Structure 1
Amino acid sequence: MKPITLFAHAIVLLGVSVSSGQDKESQHQAPVAEIRQAAVAFLQSLRPELREQAMFAMDDKERRAWSNLPATSFKREGVSFKEMSSEQRSFAHQLLQSTLSSQGYLKTTGIMHVDELLKSMAEERRPNRTPMFGHDLYWIGIFGDPEKDDSWGWQLDGHHLALNITVVGDEVSVRPQFMGSDPARLPEGTYAGWKVQGAEDEKGKQFYALLDEDQRAKATIAEVAPRDVITGPTRGDQLKQPTGLPASELNDTQRRMLVSLIEEYAHNYEHDIAHIQMERILESGLDKIHFAWAGTSEGKPYYYRIHGPTVIIEFDNHFPPGRSSGPVNHIHTVFREPGNDYGEDLLRKHLMESPHHQDHQHDHEHEHEHE
């Protein structure tokens, strides 16, 4: 980490508010060229009909149409891994690797692999049923033209996994993100003990355990955990005001642990993208971030939320689908950016500052003057 970034972290951890990240230039640069090259290579690997199937306009409704549900419960568009050749799958994975960190790539492919295990278990129980799980049932869509457009994006969508990437000029938005695991911890078989999202789970519990009695009372928003995350698919604007315990009431150890928990989500992305995410979150003021917890009974579902001006993180660990007892072993998480999901803030800024758009707006106004 560069010295200025360390300094910014030190200021935040000491509890001093830092001005908005919009006021100063980041020391990190998102790998826009690499992401663009990977997207172009993926599209060029597809035969014409699949390429047409993969591409959407930037404002197509599909860009916001994603779900954590299995393929039999939610119809997806784009190109599925089932339709890709081995070579095309390789290009698809290169696209993932261009934007994700090694930990994020392993979580992403781990979630897809868990779904493949679910497929095997489902086939054992009901061999002739239409497949609803599996690595094949994840779709990639490209929005805009990465070869020509300044603003474009890509999406990976499937069961328990949605990545929404928006490129605007030399900046990248990586939210909203949904990641889930069922089972969260594999109980038996070859992969017994495997836990794709173990860090999000354990760090959340560790942070809650660091709180004293009064802090826990403030942080706890419900004795029973909600059945799902609040800001899931189509519900991005459900949380307006932060609730729970403000970070201004944390000691230095607790503040460091909270930052580490946030980093677990941000660092699913490439090094520079992750640091830019953390700058946006911390420079809006760590003290403005609240931590909330629900679920206080041992062995029952639990939930936590991190909510500030530029971040919403939700985590829940619940009973498996269709059950209301037994082990808590089904994780859902979301990582959102209020006001900049799908790069909304970046797109507005680009529209205002781009000479091309300014000229277009000037011409439009000039036409009205002569009407």
Structure 2
Amino acid sequence: MKPKMTFKKIISTSVLLMFMGILPAQVLEKANVFLNSLSDEIKAKTLFSLEDTERFNMNYVPIPRAGATFHDFNETQKKAALDLLRASLSEEGFRKSQEIMELEKVLRIIENNDNDKMPDGRPRRDPLNYHFCIFGKPSEDEPWGWRFEGHHLSLNFTSTDGIITSSTPTFFGTNPGIVRSTEYKGREVLKKEAQLGFSLLHSMSQEQLKTVVFTDVAPHDIITTTKRKVEQLESIGIAYRDLSKNQKKIFMELLELYINNYEHGFAEGFRDKITKAGIDNLKFAWAGSHQPGKGHYFRIQGPSLLIEYDNTQNNANHVHTVVRDLTNDYGEDVLKDHYEKEHQH
């Protein structure tokens, strides 16, 4: 019989890998290679100060944005940009980001609306219209951050002391949730998230469902939307401690699925933070339909963590999901600590 892979053992495995030289990714090196590949004109579009309010201007709909896009880059610059993105995520997180961008091709075909343009005249559905912004100067000594954002993607990173210390807010979205036509027919980028969410719901007894389901109507979107600072939502749902052994296993698979989108070094620290806050303090809550095909929503919530998943739009075939660190989105907690120490010096 194989030994159980507990949350603590997963952490230990990540630490071992780090000592083996596999972790962490060389994000700082990739950022500087990317910046050094840019012309002064493109750099001017890309660079912002760390204190610029643009850093908190999160959005996930197709609107005009700040930052250089793939339209601005030659092939060398595109590769450098994607190398930075790959280094900042796990392979799984990077795969999801690439497949979400490709869904713009699907939307362009199925919507068949050549008049749907952005203000610059480009098509609204555009897999190249994803923006890179770097905040501050990439350095081991000073904090800095960067963002990759476009339709259905908002990936925000903060680095201090040469490592990623914040990777939230993290937003992934898919439209269509399940592709019904075109050469991409059958693709479902966020399939596992949906499967595990329903699996956990369907494992509940009738008595547990009274605690888990807080409304029969799912919200139209994730509740936190694009807020810079997430207010603590009402603590609802069933606590991890009140789950059966099998339910706890599914719960942890779902939680790990989200954490495993991150670069390994950050993921290890994020796990440790969640564990210290108490796994027993995490809750699972559901709203809406108990079956796919109609609007549904779930969330995992704890003292420092909020995960939301919503599938209500386009006849429940349009997914929005987000991870928020309730104490350290945009690296605010880590940056505060850094500046206090600098001030003392």
TM-score scaled by structure 1? Answer: 0.83
Conserved? CA contact 1:304–1:316, under 8 Å = yes
Q: Give the secondary-structure state (helix, strand or coil) at the position aligned to 2:306.
A: strand
Q: Which moved more, 1:336-345 or 1:229-238?
A: 229-238
Query: Taking structure 1 as reference, are residues 132 and 239 closer, same or farther at Cα in structure 2, changes over 3 Å only?
Result: farther
The answer for the alignment partner of 1:96 in structure 2 is: 85
The answer for the alignment partner of 1:245 in structure 2 is: 238
> Which amino acid in structure 1 is aligned with residue 320 of structure 2?
H
Q: Give the secondary-structure state (helix, strand or coil) at the position aligned to 1:66.
A: coil
Return the match for 1:305 from 263, 281, 299. 299
CA distance in 1, matches of 2:154, 2:241: 32
* CA RMSD across the alignment: 2.3
Task: Tell me the CA shift for residue 310 of structure 1.
Answer: 1.7
The answer for the alignment partner of 1:78 in structure 2 is: 67
The answer for the alignment partner of 1:315 in structure 2 is: 309
CA distance in 2, matches of 1:294, 1:347: 35
1:65 aligns with 2:57: yes
Structure 1, unaligned runs of 5 or more: 13-25, 321-326, 360-371
Conserved? CA contact 2:25–2:265, under 8 Å = no
1:256 aligns with 2:249: yes
Per-residue CA deviations over 1:335-355 (Å, capped at 9, x if unaligned) read 0100110111111222233xx
The answer for the alignment partner of 2:275 in structure 1 is: 282
Structure 2, unaligned runs of 5 or more: none
The answer for the alignment partner of 2:8 in structure 1 is: 8
Q: Which moved more, 1:177-186 or 1:129-138?
A: 129-138
Conserved? CA contact 2:47–2:133, under 8 Å = yes
1:144 aligns with 2:132: no
Conserved? CA contact 2:168–2:325, under 8 Å = yes
Conserved? CA contact 1:176–1:335, under 8 Å = yes
Per-residue CA deviations over 1:10-54 (Å, capped at 9, x if unaligned) read 9x9xxxxxxxxxxxxx77769567100111111111101111221
TM-score scaled by structure 2? Answer: 0.89
Q: What percent identity do the matched residue pairs reach?
A: 33
Return the match for 1:48 from 31, 40, 61. 40
Return the match for 2:152 from 149, 157, 160. 160
Regions of 4+ moved over 6 Å: none
Task: Tell me the CA shift for residue 318 of structure 1.
Answer: 1.3
The answer for the alignment partner of 1:268 in structure 2 is: 261
Counterparts of 1:19-58 in structure 2, within 5 Å, are 34-58=26-50
Conserved? CA contact 1:305–1:312, under 8 Å = yes
Structure label with greater radius of gyration? 1
Task: Tell me the CA shift for residue 297 of structure 1.
Answer: 5.7
Aligned length: 330
Q: Give the secondary-structure state (helix, strand or coil) at the position aligned to 2:214.
A: strand
Conserved? CA contact 1:81–1:136, under 8 Å = yes
The answer for the alignment partner of 1:179 in structure 2 is: 172
